[in-house]
Amino acid sequence: MIDAGSAHIMRKASKILQNERIDAVAITHIHEDHTGLAWWLQKEKHVPIYIHKNSLQEASDKSDIPLYRRLVWGNRKGFSALPIPKYFQTNHYTFDVIEAPGHHKDHVVLHEKNMGWLFTGDLFVSSRQRVAFKDENICDTIHTLKKMLAKDFDTIFCSHSGMQKNGKEKFQF
């Protein structure tokens, strides 16, 4: 599983996830809308949760976020995470984990080069970004997008806008 949703989708998501086979959870970055169910997955599914090594400490604590984010996504509980490895191997796929700072300094993306898939987290939500956190680094985002253009991919899986074909083309705008 890549990313773990927000605390506010707990009731619906847990009903779906309880019947799914999940072997591990890879998290693109620490924000509460990507980590909200991590504690539940750990408790109920007994799976390892992986996140960037610089976010391990923050993950272990309950999130401390402004009111508007608590209202939109909800606070998340702390969870015990492991440092994300350089790649994940499943029965059918290999996902390379690539550092992708910008939206968050410790953000990663997962690249399945044989399938041309890129799981982008919050690296790229749309061609014309309208909002940003005050600690986002737009120069890093541009640098990361340029770095990713050198990779083979076509389909992007965005945590907010879903699956998009021609993802590489969209990165170039």
Q: Which range of residues in 12-20, 43-51, 122-130, 138-146 is near Zn ion by CB under 5 A? A: 122-130
CA distance 117 to 113: 6
* Residue at 106: amino acid letter: D
107 binds Zn ion per the rule CB under 5 A: no
Residue nearest to Zn ion (CB): 31
Least CB distance to Zn ion at residue 122 (A): 4
| Total site size for Zn ion, rule CB under 5 A | 2
**Choice between 31 and 111, CB closer to Zn ion:** 31
Q: How many CA atoms lie within 13 A of 53 on its CB side?
A: 5
What is the dihedral sign for C-alpha 12, 130, 32, 62?
negative
Interaction residues for Zn ion, span 63-82 (CB under 5 A): none
Q: Which range of residues in 13-21, 23-31, 62-70, 142-150 is near Zn ion by CB under 5 A? A: 23-31
Burial class, 84, CB count within 10 angstroms (exposed 0-12 / middle 13-18 / buried 19+): buried
Tokens describing residue 81:
């995470």
Least CB distance to Zn ion at residue 80 (A): 21
| Closest C-alpha among 24, 61, 31 to residue 135 | 31
| Closest C-alpha among 65, 145, 71, 67 to residue 103 | 145
**Choice between 112 and 122, CB closer to Zn ion:** 122
31 binds Zn ion per the rule CB under 5 A: yes
106 binds Zn ion per the rule CB under 5 A: no
**Choice between 45 and 51, CB closer to Zn ion:** 51
Q: Which range of residues in 15-23, 50-58, 80-88, 116-124 is near Zn ion by CB under 5 A? A: 116-124
Question: What's the Cα-to-Cα distance from 131 to each of 124, 134, 157, rounded to whole Å?
Answer: 12, 9, 20
Least CB distance to Zn ion at residue 91 (A): 30
Q: What are phi and psi of 77, to 5 degrees?
A: -80, 160
3 binds Zn ion per the rule CB under 5 A: no
Residues that bind Zn ion (CB under 5 A): 31, 122
